[in-house]
Amino acid sequence: MTGRDGGADLSPPAGESPIIVLVRPQLADNIGAAARAMANGGLFHLRLVAPRDGWPQPRAWRTASGADRILEAAAVFPDVASAVADCQRVLATCPRPRHVVIRTFTARGAAAELREACGRGLRSAVLFGPERAGLTAEDLARADSLVRYPLNPAFMSLNLAQAVMVLAYEWWTAADATPPRTLVTNETRVATKGELDGFLGRLVAELDAAGFFTNREKMPGVVRNLRHLFERAEVTEQELRTLHGVVTELSRGRMRRGRPDPEA
């Protein structure tokens, strides 16, 4: 993780992030895709327990899509016991309830727990089982907690790299402060109510001059509805200038053609 040459910048963020342990993975494609998902979520430490087809395998680099350093730094262990021997917190992902008594987290709960453990300086690991069989009861007995994703119980077939993705995503999100909803405005800014009022006043005056309000009694309601539309849209200052231009141009056209026939 200290090299500076080539590849995307995968330097781990400050503080230690959990180790992802793939237990007896079968497909190199999945190992590479898992590494890619780890990089997406800011996880950088990969351990492999007895990969079926040995290690390293070039196919993994093909699906890692640039997360090469994670694969290059991956450590291989013969069994789960040795892979977690230096860890103080071990979570095991397992979709199905078993005959065990164990603390169980959702993916989100696990991410919060891992953030807390890392904040306390604990070395943490998360176990992911092999593609078909999942973790054995013996594997699970090495973990202090279970992680069970809340997902559709009618379709439990979760790809290994997808399972890593969900955890990596929750790990990243647990420390992310992005508001759930924002308005991206780039260079411009949302118009003030005064600016919007100035535009609406002009629009109504031009509409009135064009003979739009044939029923004067209904005019205040129509104006209010137009106002609601523009208020809701969070118009920006730049868009208001465009809208002013639109009104100017349409009014000019009207003046060039003379007042249109109200019956037309």
Question: Which spans of this chain sit near its own copies (rule: CB under 8 A)?
Answer: 8-11, 33, 36-37, 39-42, 65-67, 97-109, 112-113, 146, 148-152, 154-159, 161-162, 165-166, 169, 172-173, 176, 178-188, 234, 236, 238-239
Distance in Å, CB of 2 to its own copies, minimum: 15
Cβ distance to its own copies smaller for residue 57 or 104: 104
Cβ distance to its own copies smaller for residue 82 or 185: 185
Under 8 Å between Cβ of 91 and 126: yes
Residue 9: both structure tokens together: 């910048």
For 7, 11, 59, the CA distances from 91, given in Å and listed in that order, are 30, 24, 28
**Which residue matches tokens 């104006």?**
223
Cβ distance to its own copies smaller for residue 29 or 206: 29
Under 8 Å between Cβ of 93 and 127: yes
Distance in Å, CB of 189 to its own copies, minimum: 10
Distance in Å, CB of 145 to its own copies, minimum: 8
Distance in Å, CB of 255 to its own copies, minimum: 31
Residues 6 or more apart in contact with residue 80 via CB below 8 angstroms: 21, 23, 49, 127, 138, 139, 142
Distance in Å, CB of 210 to its own copies, minimum: 29
Cβ distance to its own copies smaller for residue 64 or 83: 64
**Which residue matches tokens 């327990």?**
49
Q: What is the dihedral of CA 76, 77, 80, 86, to 10 degrees?
A: -90
Distance in Å, CB of 43 to its own copies, minimum: 9
Cβ distance to its own copies smaller for residue 21 or 111: 111
Phi and psi torsions of 124, nearest 5°: -115, 150
Angle in degrees, CA 42, 110, 11, rounded to 5: 15
Secondary structure letter of residue 236 according to DSSP: B
Cβ distance to its own copies smaller for residue 183 or 264: 183
